[in-house]
Amino acid sequence: MCGLFGVFKPTHLSTDERKALVEIGMLSFFRGTDSTGISVITKKKPASEKVDHFIVKGVNHSIDFFKQEHVLNACFNQKATSIMGHARAATHGTVNQANAQPMRENSIIGTHNGVVRKFTPDKKEEDEYSDSRKLFQAIDNLPIETVLKS
């Protein structure tokens, strides 16, 4: 099953918190080696309500992922308040960039660990969808109660 990791704060992350995130991210290979990614939430000012985000992900082992300069630059973004990470152990869906996580589906940015059989893609969908992507689409498009009941 996949590895989920992160650090979340209402204020900007400290250097030590960023370093710890990178170390935990590298260790996440114990939970998955098919792809790795992070979603970074930033605020210009710590007290600001306005947030921005960006996702960095790749189809590679977490140790290799966190050695890349652009990944480290994302982790050490001085405006970051939260970083959510994922190391994938693929179950449903092709191992590719589209199925690497975190992923954004309209208003949802998510990571997922496990199998959601209700949302398993069929064979012709596997290059573009995983059960996680289909789950996030359902959450974005339907009332959450409906998704939870299914």
pLDDT digits (tens, 9 = 90+) for 35-56: 999 999 999 887 778 889 999 9
- 106 vs 126: which has the higher pLDDT: 106
pLDDT value of position 38? 97
pLDDT at residue 121 is higher than 70: no
- pLDDT-derived band at 92 (thresholds 50, 70, 90) equals confident
pLDDT at residue 75 is higher than 80: yes
pLDDT value of position 55? 96
109 φ, ψ to 5°?
-115, 120
pLDDT at residue 126 is higher than 80: no
Alpha-carbon gap, residue 13 to 21, rounded angstroms: 10
pLDDT value of position 125? 74
Alpha-carbon gap, residue 145 to 8, rounded angstroms: 26
pLDDT value of position 135? 86
Comparing 18-27, 57-66, 117-126, the range with the smallest average pLDDT is 117-126
Q: Which residues contact 67 (CB under 8 A, 6 or more apart)?
A: none
For 48, how many CA atoms within 13 A lie in the half-sphere containing its CB? 13
Q: Are 89 and 31 in contact (CB under 8 A)?
A: yes
- pLDDT-derived band at 83 (thresholds 50, 70, 90) equals very high
The owner of tokens 């939870």 is 148
